[in-house]
Amino acid sequence: MTPKVLIVALALTGGAIVGSSSAFAAAAAPTIVLSGGSTVFGLDPAIIVATTSAPGNVAFSVGSTVITGCEAVATTTVAPFAAKCSWVPAAAGPATLNATITPTDTVNFTTATAAPLTVKIGTPVQGTVPSPISLYVDTVLASGSTGALAPRFGVSCAITSQFIVGQTIVFRVYGNDSDLGGAVLDSSNVSSAFITVAGVANPIPLSYGNHSGVAFWSAPFKTGTAAGLYGTLGVVNFKVTVITKDQSSIKVLSTKLQPRMLNGKRVRDSSGAQIYDRVSYYRTVPVVPALKGAVGTWQSSFTPTSQVTLYAVPTN
């Protein structure tokens, strides 16, 4: 009887050893994928999202610099496991985002690093010099082109950024001045407005006038292969400049109390007293000495494929 008991004991012991061998399996690296991170410089924070196959804490970084406040962001506790980081970019342009997860389960999982995510932080294109002037600029094809130079879609005066040598580009400019209470920029408050084009010796003057019932600044720019015409293929590098007149008075944003009205009658509270609301308005105040005219500029920061571009005449 004794030998039989010994054999059974050894068999049970051997089974325990074999069964426990799975506990020594190598720990696996969880997956981690980055997304998001897109925003405009100087505006809202960018939200970076790390999605992983295991819960844990994620460290977010820009390049090799860990993002403050995102040193160890806990993932959600249920799949898909995600961690979010609110990031304020320090500059516009491209940035490389990284993230590393430290799993909660360190027995079965190891740390893992996500593939870098490259994002482009947007930069404003509206104006390139600090100024109270805001400008809107576009380009259209002048009417009258025929044959190979005819409008691509059969419509002249359509906003476009692609032109063919021989066509006439029309620059159109609209603007407002916050120093003048947001007043429209017109010939009454602008001393000069012009466009400078790289490779063109003299600035192109902008004129203000009535265009089919709408008033704006415009300047035709003829292209071609003849002497004196602009014929450089590729992106047309240009800058718009608007200089306002000196002002002896300006509009200042103020507030005032105004009686609350309902159906033409004054609104009163339970005690019979008149109810007032504070509202904003602009008031004109004199300025001595005169306020120096502002200089507003606009220069395209669009991607090359969206900038004004001049192409050769099609051959077929």
pLDDT tens digits for 307-316? 999 999 887 6
% the chain with pLDDT above 70: 86
Name the pTM for this structure. 0.62
Q: How far apart are CA 117 and CA 194, in angstroms?
A: 42
Q: What was the pLDDT predicted at 166?
A: 92
| Whether pLDDT at 268 is above 90 | yes
CA 316 to chain centre: 39
Cβ atoms within 10 Å of 167's Cβ, excluding its own: 25
Average pLDDT, the chain: 86
- As a 3-state breakdown, the chain gives helix, strand, coil percent values, each rounded to 5, of 10, 50, 40
| Whether pLDDT at 250 is above 90 | no
Q: Where are the beta strands (DSSP E) in 104-233?
A: 112-113, 117-121, 133-141, 162-164, 168-177, 183-184, 190-197, 204-205, 207-211, 214-222
By CB atoms closer than 10 A (0-12, 13-18, 19+), residue 53 is middle
By CB atoms closer than 10 A (0-12, 13-18, 19+), residue 212 is exposed
Closest Cα partner for 295 from 171, 133, 150, 83? 133
The helix or strand, by DSSP H or E, that contains position 287, with its residue range, turns out to be strand 276-291
| Whether pLDDT at 154 is above 60 | no
Q: How far apart are CA 196 and CA 204, in angstroms?
A: 6
Closest Cα partner for 220 from 157, 176, 299? 157
Bridge partners (DSSP) listed for residue 209: 216
